[in-house]
């Protein structure tokens, strides 16, 4: 499907387009981290434990990752604006259900399922509509910078805002806050214009969605079982690997038959994009993993309440905000590859400080330098990674690569909460040692991301447009 170039928008019109899109990314990222500071409050109120709240958070992130690609394909059938609005409605319903949840089951239904599905529906249109509205590379890079930056700020500020609301009112009020923001986004987004007509006849690869979804679910669910049953963990991860392998064989066979697959295999033939996707996965793994690990450690080991825990994350929020605001200026002076490498170096240094200073001192100030560096590092590289991935493909493949990019990022978020959280929860009684092992796992993820960044090409070349049946 060829993409018609939309009319060039004025600066004022572009701001009206960008505001609801950036706010949508903010609230979805906020939802992934704000519950971290509510663990004690939710556990007492709903008669559950840390593992129960961890499952809610991880399932929310996992559902986003599983459905992001299928939902990005549905934007062609249903229209980008319609999917955006449907996602907002589902998210709002989930927020209200979560706010009134009498037990863990309803919280899972509201937060994990309704908000997760809603997010998967509304996030792909955010990046597709931004791509279509901002036609030149400079303005598009700036738009992606604002959206990605708001996502990073939402994830970093989630514990702070969530902690303030939880301590000042109740953890339930944090979900009311989300619902209010969703209503505001819906009203602001009414003026959005979808420059492409929906195509209800566009085929949808149901079996591809099932195979990929089941595979990813079992991989992450296997990690969550690591603290209770290693045999079950190995079995679930093996099942996940089999389904993922079956998915790739299936879509390759479908493409060879001339049919449209859920995901074009041509997206994985671009080496630069593949490496940039690895960096995206590592960035969100570190961001969400750090948020969960530090929050759980402070509440279960140090005995901090929600506001005390949230305030500690101010350093990370300031770091991401400062580096995000400087992103455009930095991009003019340094290549995207250089910024990503620098971001990982700074982030890894922050993890080292969180390990060294927290071990040496029980003072709350010990967390500040490390979280500040992690925020600065992540804010420096979030936008360049997205820009490299998006600019590696022509216009006709922007919808597909947007879905894959968001799926990889959200998969990183779920891995971060699952891996670091499982290590921490499995040995929470051991205090500092469990915290050290969890942070060490995040440091390893940072090193993997750094290695991928160093292999990047500074100026990625777009892949050929004819890489899939739908690229015509």
Distance CA 60, CA 107 (A): 11
What confidence category does residue 463 fall into, taking pLDDT thresholds of 50, 70 and 90? very low
Residue 358, token pair as written in the block: 């927290």
CB 105 within 8 Å of CB 134: no
Distance CA 399, CA 126 (A): 10
Regarding predicted confidence, which is higher, 277 or 69? 277
Alpha-helix runs per DSSP H in 169-205? 171-188
| Nearest CA-CA partner of 95 in 35, 148, 5, 8 | 35
Residue 312, token pair as written in the block: 């500690």
Highest mean predicted confidence (pLDDT) among 92-96, 237-241, 386-390? 92-96
What confidence category does residue 5 fall into, taking pLDDT thresholds of 50, 70 and 90? very low
| pLDDT at residue number 110 | 93
Distance CA 369, CA 5 (A): 46
The string of DSSP codes covering 208-254 is: HHHHHHHHHHHHHHHHHGGGT-HHHHHHHHHHHHHHHHHHHHHHHHH
Return the H-helix or E-strand segment holding 166. Answer: helix 137-168
Q: How far is CA 150 from CA 154, 243, 340, in A?
A: 6, 34, 18
| pLDDT at residue number 470 | 34
pLDDT tens figures, 362-391:
677 788 899 999 989 988 888 888 888 877
CB atoms near residue 364 (< 10 Å): 15
| pLDDT at residue number 100 | 94
DSSP state of 309: H
Residue 372, token pair as written in the block: 């500040």
Return the H-helix or E-strand segment holding 87. Answer: helix 80-99
**SS3 state at 275:** helix
Indicate whether 464 pLDDT > 50.
no
Q: How far is CA 40 from CA 46, 281, 309, 314, 408, in A?
A: 10, 29, 11, 20, 30
| pLDDT at residue number 143 | 79
| pLDDT at residue number 324 | 74
CB 444 within 8 Å of CB 352: no
Indicate whether 44 pLDDT > 90.
no
Q: How far is CA 280 from CA 152, 308, 433, in A?
A: 12, 30, 28
pLDDT tens figures, 189-228:
888 877 777 778 788 888 988 998 898 888 877 776 665 6
| pLDDT at residue number 136 | 67
Burial 437-449 (b: 16+ CB within 10 A, else e): bbbebbbebbebb
**SS3 state at 334:** coil
| pLDDT at residue number 29 | 84
Distance CA 221, CA 233 (A): 8
What confidence category does residue 6 fall into, taking pLDDT thresholds of 50, 70 and 90? very low
Indicate whether 137 pLDDT > 80.
no
Regarding predicted confidence, which is higher, 18 or 450? 450
pLDDT tens figures, 9-20:
555 666 778 889
Indicate whether 354 pLDDT > 50.
yes
Highest mean predicted confidence (pLDDT) among 168-177, 285-294, 350-359, 433-442? 168-177
The whole-number average pLDDT for the span 392-403 is: 72
| Average of per-residue pLDDT values in the chain | 81
Phi/psi of residue 198, nearest 5 degrees: -70, 150
| Nearest CA-CA partner of 273 in 393, 448, 102, 439 | 393
Question: pLDDT above 90 covers what percent of the chain?
Answer: 23
Phi/psi of residue 468, nearest 5 degrees: -155, 160
The whole-number average pLDDT for the span 286-296 is: 84
Distance CA 244, CA 217 (A): 10
| pLDDT at residue number 11 | 57
| pLDDT at residue number 425 | 62
| pLDDT at residue number 424 | 65
Q: How open is the CA angle 198-204-208, to the nearest 5 degrees?
A: 145
Q: How open is the CA angle 304-27-384, to the nearest 5 degrees?
A: 100
Distance CA 293, CA 291 (A): 6
| Nearest CA-CA partner of 212 in 37, 407, 373, 343 | 407
What confidence category does residue 342 fall into, taking pLDDT thresholds of 50, 70 and 90? very high
The whole-number average pLDDT for the span 31-39 is: 82
Q: What is the CATH number of domain 13-192+262-465?
A: 1.20.1250.20
The whole-number average pLDDT for the span 71-76 is: 82
Output the 3-class SS for 289-300: HHHHHHHHHHHH
| pLDDT at residue number 472 | 28
| pLDDT at residue number 284 | 86
| Nearest CA-CA partner of 162 in 146, 148, 176 | 176
The whole-number average pLDDT for the span 437-442 is: 85
| Nearest CA-CA partner of 341 in 257, 449, 221 | 449
Regarding predicted confidence, which is higher, 136 or 308? 308
Indicate whether 48 pLDDT > 70.
yes
Indicate whether 168 pLDDT > 50.
yes
What confidence category does residue 176 fall into, taking pLDDT thresholds of 50, 70 and 90? very high
Domain edges within the chain: 13-192+262-465, 206-261
| Nearest CA-CA partner of 84 in 3, 5, 192 | 192
| pLDDT at residue number 2 | 41
| pLDDT at residue number 430 | 54
């Amino acid at each position: 499907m060829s993409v018609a170039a939309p009319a060039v928008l004025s600066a004022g019109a572009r701001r009206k387009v960008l505001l609801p899109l950036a706010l949508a990314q903010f609230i979805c990222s906020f939802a992934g981290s704000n519950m971290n500071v509510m663990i004690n409050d939710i556990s007492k109120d709903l008669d559950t434990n840390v593992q129960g709240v961890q499952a809610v958070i991880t399932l929310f992130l996992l559902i986003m990752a599983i459905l992001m690609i299928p939902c990005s394909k549905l934007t062609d059938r249903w229209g980008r604006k319609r999917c955006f609005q449907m996602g907002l409605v589902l998210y709002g319903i989930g927020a209200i259900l979560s706010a009134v949840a009498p037990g863990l089951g309803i919280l899972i239904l509201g937060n994990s399922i309704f908000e997760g599905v809603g997010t998967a529906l509304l996030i792909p249109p955010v990046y597709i509509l931004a791509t279509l509205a901002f036609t030149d590379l400079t303005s598009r890079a700036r738009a992606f910078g604002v959206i990605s930056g708001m996502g990073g700020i939402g994830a970093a500020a989630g514990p702070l805002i969530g902690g303030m609301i939880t301590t000042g009112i109740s953890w339930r009020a944090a979900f009311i806050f989300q619902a209010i923001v969703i209503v505001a986004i819906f009203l602001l987004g009414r003026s959005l214009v979808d420059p492409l007509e929906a195509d209800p006849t566009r085929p949808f690869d149901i079996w591809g969605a099932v195979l990929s979804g089941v595979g990813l679910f079992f991989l992450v669910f296997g990690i969550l079982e690591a603290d209770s049953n290693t045999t079950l963990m190995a079995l679930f991860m093996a099942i996940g690997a089999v389904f993922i392998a079956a998915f790739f064989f299936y879509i390759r066979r479908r493409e060879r038959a001339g049919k449209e697959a859920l995901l074009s295999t041509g997206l994985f033939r671009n080496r630069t994009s593949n490496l940039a996707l690895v960096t995206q996965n590592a960035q969100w793994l570190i961001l969400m993993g750090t948020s969960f690990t530090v929050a759980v450690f402070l509440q279960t080991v140090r005995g901090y309440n929600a506001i005390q825990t949230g305030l500690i994350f101010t350093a990370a929020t300031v770091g991401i905000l400062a580096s995000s605001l400087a992103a455009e200026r930095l991009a003019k002076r340094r290549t995207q590859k250089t910024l990503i490498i620098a971001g990982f170096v700074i982030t890894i240094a922050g993890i080292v400080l969180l390990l060294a200073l927290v071990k040496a001192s029980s003072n709350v100030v010990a967390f500040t330098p490390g979280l500040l560096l992690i925020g600065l590092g992540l804010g420096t590289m979030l936008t360049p990674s997205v820009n490299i991935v998006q600019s590696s493909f022509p216009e006709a493949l922007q919808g597909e690569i947007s879905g894959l990019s968001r799926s990889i990022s959200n998969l990183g978020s779920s891995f971060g909460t699952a891996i670091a959280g499982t290590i921490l929860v499995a040995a929470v009684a051991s205090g500092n040692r469990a915290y050290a092992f969890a942070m060490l796992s995040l440091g390893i993820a940072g090193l993997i991301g750094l290695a991928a960044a160093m292999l990047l090409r500074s100026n990625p070349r777009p892949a050929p447009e004819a890489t899939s049946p739908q690229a015509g």
